[in-house]
Amino acid sequence: MYAFNYHRPATARQAASLLAKKEDAKLLAGGHTLLPTMKQRLASPGALVDLSSCADLKGIARKGRNLVIGAMTTHAEVASSPEVQQAIPALAYLASHIGDPHVRHRGTIGGSVANNDPAADYPAALLALGATVVTNKRKLPADEFFSGLYETALDEGEIIIKVSFPVASKAGYAKFRNPASRYALVGVFVAKRGSEVAVAIIGAGEGGVFRWPEAEAALKARFAVKSLDGLKHTAKGINGDIHADAEYRAHLIGVMAKQAVAQATGK
């Protein structure tokens, strides 16, 4: 790592003012992407603002029809939360399958969402569930928030405070893991809210998380695994690498979508 200054504010407001003041400062959440990148000397922030002491960024609460999760809530906390398990069990399931147990003890929803790694799990849940990202400045719907590979609508100095998930009537998540890194090769989150159905896919898109309208239409007609029979995702726009080419990934989207629907429908 290159040298940097370190700050650990106690509130999000203090963090924001540090971020505004400090030359080339970066926020440190769980650190499980940022620190390895810095170790490889691929990132060299002048300062780190560590959010781990900001109590106002933590916590899980059911607020009416929404489940609200603080940005610094860890994956392990989401996975084991009775509120989450009761309101959106697929979200708890997703969190319980991010990385490995040690990573889940450090990694946070805010860090994951802000990083928008194309192989990270949470963006699929946010997009499919129609979540809202609440920052210290504004509220951003998920479909406006994620804007490309590792890119979001966040401005300089903007901090994610929490993510608000409308509770879905049915939701499911399935992923096929990269055998080496254990990140998602393909992950599919399906959600049914009222008559609306959303299918969001991560790991496979050349531009990051995206939706699959054909599957959504089929599931809107009937929310069942069978509805996806014969439906194939095109390999166009799907990324390929040494682990999986576009054709295989496109195929896995169909397989994972069925598994996700099976989970959502309890079948």
Partner 1 sequence: MSATGIGASVRRKEDHRFITGQGRYTDDINRPGQAHAYFLRSPHAHATLKTIDTKAAAAMPGVLGIFTGDDLAADKVGGLICGWMIHNKDGSPMRAGPHPALAQGKVRYVGDHVAVVVAETLAQARDAAEAIIVDYGVLPAVVDTATAAKSKTQVHAEAPDNTVFNWHLGDKGATDVAFKAAKHVTKLDIVNNRLVPNPMEPRAAVGDYDQGEGAFTLYTTSQNPHVARLVLSAFIGIAPENKLRVIAPDVGGGFGSKIFIYAEETVCVWAAKKVGRPVKWTSDRTEAFLSDAHGRDHVTHAELAMDGDGKMLAMRVHTTANLGAYLSTFSSSVPTYLYAPLLSGQYDIPAIYCEVDAVYTNTAPVDAYRGAGRPEATFVVERLVEVAARELGKDPAKFRTQNFVRKFPHQTPVIMMYDTGNYSASLKKALEIIDYKGFGKRRRDSARNGKLRGIGFSAYIEACGIAPSAAVGSLGAGVGLWESAEVRVNPVGTIEVLTGSHSHGQGHETTFAQLVSDRLGVPLENVSIVHGDTDKVQMGMGTYGSRSGAVGMSAIFKAIDKVIAKGKKVAAYVLEADEADIDFKDGNFTVKGTDRKLDFGSCALQAYVAHKFNGQDLEPGLKEGAFYDPTNFTFPAGVHICELEIDPDTGVTRIERWAAVDDFGNVINPMIVEGQVHGGIAQGVGQALLEGARYNADGQLVTASFMDYCMPRADDLPSFEVGMTVTPCPSNPLGIKGCGEAGAIAAPPAVINAITDALGHEDIAMPATPQAVWRAAQKTLSRMAAE
Partner 2 sequence: MANLSMTVNGKAVTATVDPRTLLVQFLRENLRLTGTHVGCDTSQCGACVVHLDGKAVKACTTLALSCEGASVTTIEGLANGGALHPMQEAFREHHGLQCGFCTPGMIMAAVDIVNRRGNHLDEKTIREDLDGNICRCTGYHNIVKAIAAGAEAMAGGSTKDREPPRQAAE
Site size toward partner 2, by CB under 8 A: 29
- Tell me how far apart the alpha carbons of residues 86 and 97 are, in angstroms, rounded to a whole number: 17
Total Cβ atoms within 10 A of residue 266: 7
Which CB, 153 or 246, lies closer to partner 1? 246
Cβ-based nearer residue to partner 1, 72 or 186 = 186
Partner whose binding site includes residue 99, from partner 1, partner 2, none (CB under 5 to 8 Å by kind) = partner 2
Residue 73's φ and ψ, nearest 5 degrees, are -75, 130
Q: Kindly identify the residues of this chain, within the stretch 234-253, that bind partner 1 according to CB under 8 A.
A: 242-245, 248, 251-252
| Distance in angstroms (rounded) separating the CA atoms of residues 35 and 196 | 39
Q: Which one-letter amino acid corresponds to residue 47?
A: A
**Strands 184-193, 170-177: pairing kind:** antiparallel
Output the CA torsion 161→156→43→240 (10° steps): 80
Residue 58 to residue 188: CA distance in whole angstroms: 27
Residue 242's binding partner, choosing from partner 1, partner 2, none, with beta-carbon cut-off 5 to 8 A by kind?
partner 1
Q: Between residue 104 and residue 163, which ones bind partner 2 under the rule CB under 8 A?
A: 105-106
Strand partners, 140: 133
Euclidean distance between CA atoms 256 and 124, whole angstroms: 13
**Which position among 27, 48, 201, 238 is part of the footprint of partner 2 (CB under 8 A)?**
48
Q: Is 28 in the site for partner 2 (CB under 8 A)?
A: yes
Which residues, 153 to 182, sit near partner 1 by CB under 8 A?
Answer: 176, 179-181
- Report the interface residues with partner 2, using CB under 8 A: 1-6, 8, 28, 31-32, 35-36, 38-40, 48, 50, 52, 76, 80, 99-103, 105-106, 181-182
- Report the interface residues with partner 1, using CB under 8 A: 1, 3, 40-41, 176, 179-181, 242-245, 248, 251-252, 255
